[in-house]
Structure 1
């Protein structure tokens, strides 16, 4: 199961969030849960925001630090890095580097990803690119 998660992040970064080329990693009912969005998103709905991240940070990259497996669920501690060299959520490029953490949980079914819960330090990203003042 750990190899499936490693493959997911490797492909996601290489394909810049183009989930249409990741069908072999996802179950047909794959859903994404993201803070601030009240209902889960399917692959099609999440692809736009995912590609938006890579448009804003062309070198956006995930590195897995820890993986914990419990039954059919995997929890990961992930480091995210990138350079804000494109528009991100309406914020023009600052050319500043980011480094933030994320905690993600995946549910695996039939050797494919079925659900993904994402909790990323968005405030840290916005602060590092200068969109939110640092205290």
Structure 2
């Protein structure tokens, strides 16, 4: 087994301190864990932020002010060595919901006074008990929909507050057998190879069957939605997505890790593609756009069974000249 308990402990301690901090204490907490040259990559309109104080001021303090009594409800917690740099760096991954009472405006979204859940997934690079890089993607359109807004036309999948893994075994605070993580990473890599070519010579359904279980669960972001089984995934997401784009670039990741039966990756961006019309009810633009994506997977046996996806759709459509956040809230939010 690879012992990554020290790196995990750093993130566990960060979360304990951050989750109990007041909005005004956020910068002090982050400064204890973030390195002086820390890079934070976040969902639009946040973009790339440098340094603990700036991350606290722009993201955590306003979020904690808006979602009072904020609590972290984790579904996945894992760590791994990063395949993208030859397995030299260590990253710790957390996925779940940040839940609170939506009591004050956030990003122009009016509060409801009710429970609200912000889906999130965070990758933290840990070096010598300090965090040097963070990628944190969340689902702002999902929060908007909970507040009664409709940022996108009706999606092809289902809009849900998403559950965690079916076996409820993904909070891996202890080390996992190394061989299991290697199996998971191998299946993810095979799937990436299939996904990236868009021309396997097979039907879409048969292509998916090479690496996915027939009853796969694809937990997509708000604006696309969740879908279940290979035929419905092909019908409700993968088919329409491929039909709506051209000139897809090769896949590019900053981090790709696996531990036990779980694994995932993120890119900045993962790939670019040009919309030809129809995707999410939007017209063609002819302008290539970036897809910043986090994917988390659960392997069952020799195939993938579940997938949780975070796509920065606000960033993508902003590149197409559509400010979804401003258009829906009546405000204006520039990307950093």
Query: TM-score with structure 1 length normalisation?
Result: 0.83
Corresponding residue for residue 93 of structure 1: 284
- Give unpaired runs (5+ residues) of structure 1: none
CA RMSD of aligned residues (A): 2.3
Alignment of 1:89-128 (within 5 A): 89-128=280-319
**What secondary structure, in the 3-state scheme, does the structure 1 residue paired with 2:243 have?**
helix
- How far residue 40 of structure 1 moved from its aligned partner, in angstroms, is 4.8
For the pair 1:7 / 2:199, whether they are aligned, the reply is: no
Corresponding residue for residue 264 of structure 2: 75
- Indicate the larger mover: 54-63 or 24-33: 54-63
Higher fraction of helix: 2
Q: Deviations over 1:24-64 (max 9, x none)?
A: 21123211111333x65222222122222222212234323
Q: Deviations over 1:8-30 (max 9, x none)?
A: 12212323692332212112321
1:84 pairs with 257, 275, 284, which one? 275
Larger radius of gyration: 2
Corresponding residue for residue 253 of structure 2: 64
1:46 pairs with 208, 230, 233, which one? 233
- Indicate the larger mover: 47-56 or 97-106: 47-56
Corresponding residue for residue 21 of structure 1: 207
Q: Which has the higher contact order (CA 8 A, sep 6+)?
A: 1
CA contact (8 A) 1:18 1:51 kept: yes
- How far residue 127 of structure 1 moved from its aligned partner, in angstroms, is 1.1
CA contact (8 A) 1:91 1:131 kept: no
Query: TM-score with structure 2 length normalisation?
Result: 0.36
- Indicate the larger mover: 103-112 or 82-91: 82-91
**What secondary structure, in the 3-state scheme, does the structure 1 residue paired with 2:277 have?**
coil
- Give unpaired runs (5+ residues) of structure 2: 1-183, 325-332
CA contact (8 A) 1:98 1:129 kept: yes
Alpha-carbon separation, structure 2, partners of 1:13 and 1:68: 18
- Indicate the larger mover: 48-57 or 101-110: 48-57
- How far residue 104 of structure 1 moved from its aligned partner, in angstroms, is 0.7
Alpha-carbon separation, structure 2, partners of 1:35 and 1:90: 15
Count of matched residue pairs: 134
Higher fraction of strand: 1
